[in-house]
A and B are shown apart, each in its own frame.
Chain A
Amino acid sequence: DQQVKQNSPSLSVQEGRISILNCDYTNSMFDYFLWYKKYPAEGPTFLISISSIKDKNEDGRFTVFLNKSAKHLSLHIVPSQPGDSAVYFCAAKYSGAGSYQLTFGKGTKLSVIP
Chain B
Amino acid sequence: NAGVMQNPRHLVRRRGQEARLRCSPMKGHSHVYWYRQLPEEGLKFMVYLQKENIIDESGMPKERFSAEFPKEGPSILRIQQVVRGDSAAYFCASSLQSGRGPYEQYFGPGTRLTVT
Contact = CB atoms under 8 A, between A and B. Distances in A.
A25 interface: no
Contact of A100 (B40, B56, B91): B56
Interface stretch (A11-19, A57-65, A76-84, A102-110): A102-110
Given A89-B43, A100-B48, A101-B45, A43 B59 contact: no
- For this complex, into which size category does the number of interface residues on chain A fall? 20 to 34
A22 B28 CA distance: 33
B98 interface: yes
Given A42-B109, A43-B4, A44-B91, A104 B103 contact: no
Nearest to A93: B103
B98 A100 contact: yes
B89 to A, nearest CB: 9
A54 B109 CA distance: 31
- For this complex, into which size category does the number of interface residues on chain B fall? 20 to 34
Given A34-B103, A49-B103, A97-B99, A102 B4 contact: no
B104 A95 contact: no
B110 A102 contact: no
A105 B43 CA distance: 8
Given A42-B109, A43-B4, A43-B91, A104 B43 contact: yes
A21 interface: no
A112 interface: no
B92 to A, nearest CB: 8
A105 B101 contact: no
A4 interface: yes
Of B44, B55, B98, B105, most buried by chain A (CB within 10 Å of CB) is B105
A32 B103 contact: yes
Interface of A: 4, 32, 34, 36, 41-46, 49, 89, 91, 93, 95, 97-98, 100-107
